[in-house]
Structure 1
Amino acid sequence: MIGLSGLIAMRKHLDSIANNVANQTTPAFKAGRVQFQEYLTEAKEAEVPDLAKRAMVSTSQFTDFTVGGVKATGNFLDVALIDDQSFFVVDTPAGPRYTRSGAFTLDGMGKLTTLDGAPVMTSNGPLVVQQRDGPVTISGDGSISTSQGRVAGLRMVRFADRQQLTPEGGGLFSSATPPIDIPSGKGRLATGVLEMANVRPADEMSRMMAATHAYDVLAKTVFKGEPAEELRKLAGAGED
């Protein structure tokens, strides 16, 4: 059904915008986008006797990796990647994940982690420092030091095609292909600052209003009369 295809596509668009708005304060969050495509398919004569073909709608989702603004924090463990190609690596129960967020901290055991508690990977694996070693600092090339000197370097990676990364929430991405490691000490960071989300609230709200209006208009057309409940569920109509 032509209208139902468009309705499903528009629902994906609305969900993507809502997720962007929800993450507008998440450090280094990358906005998700939905690209619409129309394609032609042969119509059955019994259905559309006047037309040889009809347009259908499909969508593809992608991530906007534009670098967000930078906010000074003064925290010596906060760092921001200067270029738009690099990612930090964190360890999770599901395996390594990749993030642009450099909001790091030390847990109660002296382990370098994200704010969510995921271990941050270095050239030596997860890093644990002893309190007696003094304060931990991160320099502009990714080197991690204590009063005892350099102890490791942040692990940073790149990908041949960032659009192959899969967003997993919280600014994390997974990859089905191995990353390309940046040599230790060769990173380019700004310290004491954080990259912010590349979400522009005013733009997202404009997209939300336009998409909501289009969805409502299309839904009234598709569900005119007494629509099957299965179609409503498939298109997401009536969901919060």
Structure 2
Amino acid sequence: MTESESQASTDGPLSGERVRHGTGVNSTRAFPTESYPDNLDPFVLFEQFYIDPDKGFPMHPHRGFEIVSYMIEGGMEHEDSLGVANTAYENDAMRITTGSGIRHSEFPADGQACTGLQLWVNLPQAKKDTEPDYGDATADALPTAEQGGATITTVIGEGSPISLHTPMEYLDVSVADAWTWSVPAEWSGFLYGVSGSGTVAGQSFTDGDFLPATDSRSVTLQSDESLRVVAVSGRPHGEPIRQRGPYVL
């Protein structure tokens, strides 16, 4: 991914694209992809990963951004150069502030495959060299509530023990009937389909689909029988996002 200052626009959902990492790990990437080649300020990339028992990410470096990993199925073992070792299981979350530089590894736990979601959030230039840091939360520490026709878990946002240097919200939403998602004024965001099927603003939406929102808007999600999505939004930094492999400059 090369330097990006502008953002593509779309009126409807896009399909995520399959990515195979050099370590043999497969992902469905929402962005950046061929169909949506830009970042989504303040977000650098988002993907759903699938790690087989004999695969994973050996110790490798990162700097210049923050990572949010949220587990969907199975467990993932994390170790890093700060001396942290943690295993996250279904609906657990981990946050890494890479800042001036950190090394970490990610492998499936208990000899079983795992699936999760990973979001990269840019750090503003003034905080690129901040001290690296790590935090996590188990599923029972993340607030969950019923709202209309949906069950919503707040991964990042009001009530969550996890926070980032960027004002943002990250919701895990299981839609049983209908639910309306609103992006705050002057924020950008996206929806990603985790499982099930339904419609978003009247258009078909299923697992692996992605709907970007680069301005404030409200969209209604309708479930067929079950529809699980994540709804992510944040305040843009208004700065170029320069991704160079594992670094965001």
Specify the TM-score bucket, using the shorter chain as the normaliser: under 0.3
Scaled by the length of structure 1, the TM-score of the pair is: 0.23
Highest relative contact order (Cα 8 Å, sep 6+), 1 or 2? 1
Structure with greater Cα Rg: 1
Bigger strand share: 2
